[in-house]
Amino acid sequence: MNVEWYIVLSSLIFAVGAMGLLLRRSPVVILLCLELMLNAGNLALVAFSRMVGNQQGQIFAIVVMVVAACEVVVGLGLIVAIFRRKLPLDVDALRELRG
């Protein structure tokens, strides 16, 4: 199959993720959307790796997965912490960093 299809799919998934990230307010969903975006990137990496014919892209993808896993751990931890402090699970309400 031609590499373009992969790229198109990857872009679509990335766009879906990005839109979700921008539109939703629940931190859990935002985390999910982040995962989508990362995996869209992974898909592109693997596709290019296949096209070029060496393994570097795949190794990169694995690294990204590890990072993604860490990120989920931290992110979910944060969400649980927010929940336990009885703060609203709404990223618009959590705006401590407002300048």
Partner 1 sequence: MSATGWAWLVLLFPLLGSIVIALGFKVLPSKAAGAIGTLAIGLAFACGVAALINLLGEAPDARHHASALWDYASVAGLNIKLGIYLDPLSTFMVLIVTGVSTLIHLYSFGYMQSDEGYHRFFSYLNFFVFSMLLLVLAGNFVLLIVGWAFVGFASYALISFWYRRATATKAGMKAFVINVVGDIGLVLAAFLIFRELGTFEYSEVFAKAPHVFHTNEWTVTAICLLLLVGAFAKSAQLPFHTWLPDAMEGPTPVSSLIHAATMVTAGVYLIARTHVLFVLAPTAADIAAFVGLATLLVAGTIALVMTDLKRAIAYSTMSQIGYMIMGVSIGAYSAGMFHLMTHAFFKALLFMAAGSIIAAMANNQNIDDMKGFGKAMRFTSITMLCGGLALAAFPGTSGFFSKDEILAYAHARGGMYDIFQILGYFGALLTAIYTFRLIFRVLPGKPCPEAQELIDTGHVHHAHPFNPATGEEEDTGVGFPGADHHIAEQSWPMRLAMGVLAFLALFAGLIQVPGLDDVVTKFLDPVFADSPLTRIVPSVGASWVGLAIGAAISIAGIGIAYWLYVARPETPAMLIERLRPLHTFLINKWYFDEAIDFLIVRPALAIGRFANRTFERLVVDGLISGTEDVVGGSGRLVRVVQSGFVRSYALLLLVGFAGLALYFLLSSS
Whether the Cβ atoms of residue 91 and residue 30 lie closer than 8 Å to each other: yes
The contact pattern for partner 1, residues 40-79, with x = CB under 8 A and - = no contact, is ----------------------------------------
Q: Which is nearer to partner 1, 4 or 96 (CB)?
A: 96
30 binds partner 1 (CB under 8 A): yes
d(CA 37, CA 39): 5
d(CA 31, CA 76): 8
In the complex, the smallest distance separating the C-beta of residue 76 from partner 1, rounded to whole angstroms, is: 16
What is the Rg, in whole angstroms, of the alpha carbon atoms belonging to the chain? 16
Q: Which is nearer to partner 1, 64 or 91 (CB)?
A: 91
Where does this chain touch partner 1 (CB under 8 A) — which range of 23-31, 44-52, 70-78, 79-87? 23-31
Q: From 82, 17, 98, select the one nearest 90 (Cα to Cα).
A: 82
Where does this chain touch partner 1 (CB under 8 A) — which range of 3-11, 21-29, 54-62, 65-73? 21-29
- Residue 6 half-sphere exposure, CB side, CA atoms within 13 Å? 15
Figure out which of the listed residues 7, 16, 21, 62 binds partner 1, where binding follows CB under 8 A: 21
